[in-house]
Amino acid sequence: MKLFDDFCKSLNEELQRENFGFAYKGVDLFYRSQWQKGVTNALYLLYRWIWALFFLGVHIMCIIMQFCGGKFFIYMTNWGYGLCTITMLLAAVQVTCWHYDLRNTRSLVQESGNKTETTRGLKIYWWLYNMTITMALSISTVYWVFLHGKMNKPLRFPVTNVITHGLNTVMMLIDYLVVAFPLRLLHVVYSIALAILFFVFTLIYHFCGGTDEHGNPYVYPILDWRNPTSCLVTFAGIFVLIVCYWFLLFGLYKLKRMFNKASSSV
């Protein structure tokens, strides 16, 4: 019963209007791993740069191999992977500033304590991270369940296909278990907004006569606007998928916090 009461209390705290924003008192958590003991950690800094450079390298390679006269940028997969790359690079820069105390990043936080405000850079990072992990999960699910082998075009790059539709999600989930900053339930609206933006883009692209690189009159066959009813059903399904994944991520966040507290008390 106590566990249920604690859950209800936590849920009520999460559903406050101010939690749409990105203000947070524990600013140091954005620069640290959930599991590190000290204020700084060289292994975490190395981890951040390995992740960032991997995503950057793969993204550049994908652009070179799949540019197709700019058609590369019409796909949600590439939107999502681009967001992953930007997010990981930003995380690496933030942790570097903290580790070496560049621009007094760490000193100011340590001197001010809980009075430190979330910087603009951290707010952008938090905002991007929220959208990145949800879209990675959703893109992988939709691709492997509904699109793989049904795209009406040859699979030219199987290795990068697995990386951008599968490995990226695995890496984001690993990273989610590593990072220390919180997940807010109400931040799900930003992932939903990104999905809406992409749907509107595909609609405009269709009416402008846009095609994929093989001349098909759609970006994805499940978003063929010649059949708007099917497109609306697809959007409703992805909306539900995003919300479900967000609640699962929130539960995972609470679980890792519980394990972290338990390990700290040992």
Per-residue pLDDT of 118-147, as tens digits, reads: 899 999 999 999 999 999 999 999 999 999
pLDDT band at 225 (very low <50, low <70, confident <90, very high): very high
Whether 11 is covered by a domain: the verdict is no
261: pLDDT strictly greater than 90: no
Q: Which two tokens stand for residue 51?
A: 């992740």
* pLDDT reported for residue 66: 92
Does residue 8 belong to any structural domain of this protein? no
Q: Is residue 9 assigned to a domain?
A: no
Question: Would residue 10 count as lying in a domain?
Answer: no
Cβ pair 95, 178 in contact under 8 A: no
Report the greatest alpha carbon distance in the chain.
Answer: 63
In a domain, 22, yes or no: no
> Looking at residue 266, what is its pLDDT?
47
Using pLDDT thresholds of 50, 70 and 90, give the confidence band for residue 111.
confident
- What does the alpha-carbon distance between residue 234 and residue 228 come to, in Å, rounded to a whole number? 10
Please write down the long-range contacts of 146-155, taking CB distance under 8 Å and 24 or more positions apart: 146/222, 147/220, 147/221, 147/222, 150/221, 151/220, 151/221, 152/214, 152/216, 152/221, 153/212, 153/213, 153/214, 153/216
pLDDT at 47 over 70: yes
On whether the CB atoms of residues 93 and 150 are closer than 8 A, the answer is: no
Is residue 189 included in any domain, yes or no? yes
Say what the pLDDT of residue 264 is: 56
Per-residue pLDDT reduced to its tens digit, 154-200: 788 889 999 999 999 999 999 999 999 999 999 999 999 999 999 99
235 domain residue, yes or no: yes
In a domain, 157, yes or no: yes
Instruction: Name the DSSP letter for residue 83.
Output: H
The answer to whether 194 and 99 are in contact (CB under 8 A) is no
The parent domain of residue 88 ranges over 29-265
- Per-residue confidence (pLDDT) for residue 263, from 0 to 100: 58
Q: Which residues contact 196 (CB under 8 A, 6 or more apart)?
A: none
* pLDDT of amino acid 157: 86
Per-residue pLDDT tens over the stretch 84-106? 999 999 999 999 999 999 999 99
Class of residue 241 by CB neighbours under 10 A (exposed 0-12, middle 13-18, buried 19+) = middle
What separation in angstroms does the CA of 174 have from each of 30, 113, 122, 241? 16, 29, 20, 20
- Res 226: pLDDT: 95
